[in-house]
Amino acid sequence: MKPSSNSPWGRKASLRQYIRAQKRQHTAAQLAAMSDEITNRVLASAWWQEASTLLLYYPLADEVDVRRLIREAFQNGKKVLLPVVKGDELELHLYEGEESLQEGSFGIMEPTGETFAPQNYGEIDLAIIPGMAFDRAGHRLGRGKGYYDRLLPKLSKARLTGFCFPFQLLDEVPSEPHDILVGDVVC
């Protein structure tokens, strides 16, 4: 893909358009099948089984569906945190079951559970992070609002794992010096 501009913003905007077009080439059933395959691999991994406090996300229709991971972790007594949009920041809240969710910003389901205090972010073992695109070096392209860019530096002890569909893993994602890399990408 050839970026439309040499500026980081132009390359990122062009890349987001490209990924959106790639997503439209897949049916909901195809995306669901890819999500199931990713979920099965994660559930079988040692790093998933060993984690006790997890940050996940409630998926949009075009993101890897991690709802099964949320349910499995919760049913197995793990502490599950989901983000809630508060102004320009993501605030983490405890997930307390499907009945404790309500529609929030951008149509994303958000937990109504207790706020997880920022001073406790060091307890988070594993953070599963969505993105528009990733590269193998761990660079992440988000949706452009910067929510995760502001959150990730606060998760200094968590294993940061990017989640994407296989077509979202690219050779290179434009990055800037302040970007926080994910440790690995699952797709």
Residue 108 pLDDT greater than 90, yes or no: no
Mean pLDDT to the nearest integer, 144-169: 92
27-186: which CATH architecture? 3-Layer(aba) Sandwich (3.40)
Q: What percent of the chain has pLDDT above 90?
A: 74
3-class secondary structure, 19:
helix
pLDDT of residue 2: 39
Q: Is the pTM of this model over 0.85?
A: yes
**CA 185 from chain center: how many Å?**
10
pLDDT of residue 10: 66
Please state the domain extents for the chain: 27-186
Nearest CA to 133 out of 103, 161, 165, 110 is that of 165
Measured CA to CA, the distance from residue 53 to residue 74 in angstroms comes to 10
Measured CA to CA, the distance from residue 88 to residue 32 in angstroms comes to 30
| Tens-place pLDDT, residues 139-150 | 999 887 888 989
Residue 178 pLDDT greater than 90, yes or no: no
| Tens-place pLDDT, residues 68-96 | 999 999 999 999 999 999 988 999 999 99
Mean pLDDT to the nearest integer, 39-51: 96
Mean pLDDT to the nearest integer, 56-66: 94
